[in-house]
Chains A and B, each alone.
Chain A
């Protein structure tokens, strides 16, 4: 992949600025859109990079939205042609991560800052309640959709059936039990290292 021009840096920032305002119910609900644009349309990062970003973002402590920084990191890294380019690619990767985070945070934070007092005082208003309840099923489905897209990314792997099975099993455990998520990541990592999946 060749270097991404200046214009594309602005495009990357713009993409996250737009996504930020659509992130109702959390940053993860924009993951399908991010995947569509950055992986499918622009080809700025691979399915594997994208999945690794979400996996690390979830496994690491902190808000889930950190996967956004990792996505930006991968885009920046790819933009300069990967690790072989030395320090230039590190700079680009950090720039990608920073731009992605800023893009994801600035609009929604500005809106929150302005709207939170208003929303707080009007939480019983019919419009606010309608928005909240109407969006609830959309948010739920976007989470399921993120899971689906991440699993579909495995379609070329030789172990695709096992990966699907493991995802379904984890989905069931998370849904029905209160098992600590870190155990599940540890199990997934071990299964991967041992070559079971």
Chain B
């Protein structure tokens, strides 16, 4: 079995997870084949294979969330509040767990290496290198969000894999030492910042106990069981036992820790942690503490608020001042300067042909092509102008692309320009699509054509819903806040898809309510938040 668990190109954990999911998929297919009352055998098998892993993950997450509720303290919750909180945590952690355990960690083949900063080193070369240490039964892929955010801020980042998966935490200390030395020698920085999630925080502390703190810029732990967790009572592995509630190993670690160590340590926890509980006990004398209320254990690594906070913590103050100076400089002079080098269409026909060309290139949506043609190639707009025009064309009713064409045409040649741009974007594509329709209606009785249309229809359905899901992320900065925004979306979906209500009613009731709420909330916001 040794070759199975120690291949050169993938970690032991990745292998374990792949085996586990293969078993779940196989079992799901078998169970569905035997039990599901659907006539279509292949469909039945695929359904079972897809849904059993999802179902088991959901079950496991629900168990952990319910168990951890015993540790929730603070103000007493009513039954509704309790159920609401469990429900929210369950969904969020399920999504996080599926992303991390099914989509990322099993497929991590590359040996982790240092990822360089993504911004040019001009003025930012001094950003502190960062070492990321994952938790129990995880690997470096849990850090994907953090790695890319830190790299965008100019940090060199190393996210390591701790191997083997089950061993004493003390055995990982030498791996941290090697990683720290690698980071130091390749970046030339004397000090390194360390971030550990869950068990990773204890690994960092164990390493500081063994090797000292002279190279530590600071150490941040996310959801680490500094006092142990009651969940680990179930674990019988060496590292699992060390993380039991109030374990002797943890007591010894705390006892041998120096004030210098505690000074560099920053503890981050969530009062709703579903793995490490009692949640509020996970603090240490002399170490700073930050709380992110309401998040789950894995969410601590994925949540945008935490990621942003981590970046801010590691930003060099001097560097930040520089950035502020850049942001504070008014955008107006930049725009004027840029517009001098901008070109403009000479006559309406230019607009017609440009938009025709754009429309004919745009398969499945035109936004990407628009930006490439108008900003990059024709240089009729700056990037900023494009984004502004696009956002205005979105708030007006009607197809966005058509609105944008109208606005651009109007700007250069008044209504003649609008007509030219609009004709460009509609005429040729419409002729093309009608030709396609003629062709299809001529052959539409053939079973092959019917099948193709049926398949493409199913693809289009998934595609449109997928674009909707993609836009969900744009709601994260919404003034309504996540709960209200999702509630509005859910109400709209139920009213439209399930109840089949007319759109006028939906817009009049749900839409107007949402807009009025947004108006009120915008009034309560401090004015400088979104200049």
Contacts and interface: CB of A to CB of B under 8 A. Distances in A.
A54 B457 contact: yes
A114 B359 CA distance: 24
Interface stretch (B186-194, B285-293, B502-510): B502-510
Contacts, number: 411
Given A54-B460, A112-B398, A185-B456, A161 B475 contact: no
Contacts of B489: 137-138, 140-141, 144
A134 B406 contact: no
B529 to A, nearest CB: 11
A33 B518 CA distance: 25
Nearest to A143: B468
A172 B410 CA distance: 39
Contact of A62 (B42, B432, B467, B492): B432
Nearest to A152: B497
B174 interface: no
Contacts of A44: none
A142 interface: yes
A26 B455 contact: no
B436 to A, nearest CB: 6
A172 to B, nearest CB: 7
Contact of B453 (A52, A145, A158): A52
B455 A166 contact: yes
A135 interface: yes
Contact of B457 (A101, A128, A150, A169): A150
B398 A20 contact: yes
A109 to B, nearest CB: 6
Given A133-B479, A170-B466, A105 B392 contact: no
Contacts of A91: none
Nearest to B415: A113
Interface string B414-443: 010010001001101110111011101110
Interface string B33-68: 000001010111011001000000000000000000
B49 to A, nearest CB: 10
B518 A134 contact: yes
A147 B428 CA distance: 27
A36 B58 CA distance: 35
Contact of B459 (A111, A184, A195): A184
Interface string B500-520: 101110110011001111110
Interface string A119-163: 110010011111111111111111111111111111001110111
B149 interface: no
Contacts of B395: 24, 119, 128, 131-132, 135
B85 to A, nearest CB: 22
B402 A32 contact: no
Contacts of B523: 126
B503 A32 contact: yes
Given A135-B395, A181-B365, A195-B451, A66 B465 contact: no
A32 B498 CA distance: 11
B440 to A, nearest CB: 7
B470 interface: yes
A165 interface: yes
Q: Which range contains the number of B residues in contact with the other chain?
A: 35 or more
Interface string A87-121: 00010011001000100110111011101110110
B158 to A, nearest CB: 26
Contacts of B468: 140-144, 147
A145 B497 contact: yes
Contacts of B113: none
B458 interface: yes
B492 A165 contact: no
Contacts of A105: 398, 402, 422, 426
B392 A123 contact: yes
Given A61-B429, A136-B475, A140-B468, A108 B396 contact: yes
A127 B466 contact: no
Contacts of B467: 143, 174
Given A56-B433, A131-B515, A165-B43, A143 B471 contact: yes
B43 A141 contact: no
B309 interface: no
A3 interface: no
A58 B471 CA distance: 18
Interface in B355-409: 359-366, 388-389, 391-403, 406-407
Contact of B454 (A32, A149, A164, A192): A192
Given A62-B366, A188-B455, A113 B410 contact: yes
B396 to A, nearest CB: 5
Interface stretch (B129-137, B331-339, B480-488): B480-488
Given A133-B479, A141-B492, A120 B388 contact: yes
B233 interface: no
Nearest to B403: A112
Contact of B510 (A30, A117, A138, A143): A138
A150 B478 contact: no
Residue of A27, A126, A138, A158 with most chain B CB atoms under a 10 A cut-off: A138
Contacts of B44: 161
Contacts of A54: 457, 460-461, 464
B318 interface: no
Contact of B522 (A93, A130, A142, A158): A130
Which 7 residue pairs across A and B have the least CB separation, nearest first? A108-B398, A62-B429, A192-B455, A174-B466, A147-B465, A170-B462, A143-B468
10 contacts: A23-B397, A59-B364, A66-B429, A83-B441, A111-B398, A112-B393, A142-B468, A147-B462, A188-B455, A192-B456
Interface of B: 38, 40, 42-44, 46-47, 50, 103, 359-366, 388-389, 391-403, 406-407, 410, 415, 418, 422, 425-426, 428-430, 432-434, 436-438, 440-442, 447-448, 450-472, 474-475, 478-480, 485-486, 488-493, 496-497, 500, 502-504, 506-507, 510-511, 514-519, 522-523, 530
